Structure 1
Amino acid sequence: MTTLPPGFTHELRTHLRSHNPPVDETTGVPILDFNKFCCGAHGFAALIETQVDGDAPQVTLFDTGPDVTSLVRNIDSMHVPVEKIERVIISHWHSDHTGGLLSFLDLRDSEAHACVVDVHPSRPLLRGIAPGPQFNKIICALPRDPSFDDIVEHGGILEQHATGHTVADDTVWVSGEVPRVTEFETGILGGMRWTEDGTWKLEPHIMDERYAVIDVAGKGLVILSACSHSGIVNVVKDAVATFQRPIYMVRIVFPGR
């Protein structure tokens, strides 16, 4: 429904050309199957493919969307070779980024290939939302994130990282805690965390959030920052300070405020 950049095609054309839709017996023309079209949902998931020189490509999944159906449906619709996805990076513990993890692992397990799940160790029991201006009334809780045991039971190889590290044969860097250095990026106001003592605690900063970086040859840093509750300026400053390289592209869902 919008004008696309050069080199891109509308999904309808891609579907007709690449998906071999069935042909109507009466008219002899192909029939669109909307069940095999991609779907959008609130949340985030991105497929990262990296390659150095003539080495084999590395395929990494960054977040998994909000629910059990969207990601696996899109993987099927786009004919993504799921067996090549060797690692899932979870940017932070919010269920619109972790909701598709277990269904993805079930799909991945059906291909008889193990998959690493890279998470921050500080998993909350539950997170909720308290809108302003007082930020003192919880209006809802987000669905619970998969537990560590859930991840293992569904075939994931659990890795917990609180500090920066490289993955995918050193082609992708996953950050540690993002330093909060700006005054105007205040996190997600009204963010709440359910604590082990049975109370809600105000948690605007979402300190478990991480970002991913790929240093593209001849270009610079490509940053994937998901929601960027830590603040996208904080993220960019940290990436530049870490790598001493220029920024080529920043991918963000929506900025933390």
Structure 2
Amino acid sequence: MSSPSDHPADPRVGLVTVDRLAITFLVDNNIEWFAKLPPGFMHETKQHLSSQPTKDPQTGVPIIDLENFCCGAHGFSALIETQVEGKKPHLTLFDTGPDSKSIFRNVTAMQVPVNLVETVVLSHWHSDHSGGMLSFLQMRSCDAPKCVVDLHPGRPIARGIAIPPTYETIIGRLPADPTFESIEAAGGIVEKHADGHTIADETIYISGEIPRVTAFEEGLPGGVRFVEEDGQRGRWTAEPHIMDERYAVVDVTGKGLVIFNVPTQVL
């Protein structure tokens, strides 16, 4: 392990290397609590059975209460814990899943210390990543320290899905992202960032807008955005490049960079 003096800030982005990084996936597209997991992953069953579970009166053994186990959902949310040796750890929530139910159920099942989360970072404005934000903020105690909500300023009125081959037919719109006002009403401190910056005592770097500079970066075919113009009715416009998308980076001592990016999630 290195000492705090071994952690000079990177002059390019102000990022400090960390000695410890722990990632807890709160919402992902699938869930598997029984099969063998890859190295570094752990089942939640032991945690449930060690927290005074209800005992079956007939057999006298604890009940594995699947009703309160984690659930899978389309979308993403990860709790990132970073720490430099000799300093306090920092908890950052990267995205909040698609809805109020999955984030609440999974946070409760995994006994996440919601009051200790310092910052919620939204990777981009799509409801499968922002849908659980208000629910998460409302889970925090009234006397908990205020939580910063780190957002790109370009919140859309609405985003929808168009179908091939012409991508002219809009089959539906995604649920509305939370507004800046509703986030503040739920107890969050809104911070808007279009440029790169560090959070969590400089242990996490949040990118600004990601330039699209290569021909194969075609974005999201069928992605559309609703816009309003002065004196005219609103209209849908093609938006394959989600320019408010941002990634997060943690530099781990002796291992290098860990990148959180929504299309591939974690690299």
Structure 1 and Structure 2 fold alike (TM over 0.5)? yes
Aligned length: 230
- For 2:259, which of 219, 223, 228 is the aligned residue? 223
Higher helix share: 1
Higher strand share: 2
| Residue identity matched to 2:157 | L
Residue ranges of structure 1 left out of the alignment (5+ in a row): 229-249, 253-257
Matches within 5 A, 1:99-178: 99-110=131-142, 112-178=144-210
* SS of equivalent to 2:194: coil
Give the match for residue 251 of structure 1.
Answer: 266
Q: Is the 8 A contact 1:108 1:114 kept in 2?
A: no
Identity of aligned residues (%): 59
Matches within 5 A, 1:28-67: 28-67=60-99
Q: Is the 8 A contact 1:21 1:31 kept in 2?
A: yes
Counterpart CA distance in 2 for 1:208 and 1:60 is 19
Q: Is the 8 A contact 1:38 1:77 kept in 2?
A: yes
Deviation at 1:53, TM superposition (A): 1.2
Give the match for residue 189 of structure 1.
Answer: 221
Give the match for residue 78 of structure 1.
Answer: 110
Q: Is the 8 A contact 2:68 2:109 kept in 1?
A: yes
Deviation at 1:35, TM superposition (A): 2.5
- For 1:203, which of 211, 231, 239 is the aligned residue? 239
Q: 1:6 to 1:180 in 2, by over 3 A?
A: closer
Q: Is the 8 A contact 2:44 2:110 kept in 1?
A: no
| Residue identity matched to 2:36 | T
Deviation at 1:111, TM superposition (A): 5.3
TM-score normalised by structure 1 residue count: 0.85
Q: Is the 8 A contact 1:187 1:206 kept in 2?
A: yes
Give the match for residue 214 of structure 1.
Answer: 250
| Residue identity matched to 1:116 | V
Deviation at 1:10, TM superposition (A): 3.5
**Deviation digits for residues 79-109 of structure 1 (CA, Å, limit 9, x no counterpart):** 1111110100000000000000001111124
1:3 maps to 2:36: yes
Counterpart CA distance in 2 for 1:83 and 1:31 is 29
TM-score normalised by structure 2 residue count: 0.82
Q: Which moved more, 1:179-188 or 1:48-57?
A: 179-188
Q: Is the 8 A contact 1:174 1:210 kept in 2?
A: yes
* SS of equivalent to 2:243: coil
Residue ranges of structure 2 left out of the alignment (5+ in a row): 1-33
Counterpart CA distance in 2 for 1:188 and 1:24 is 50
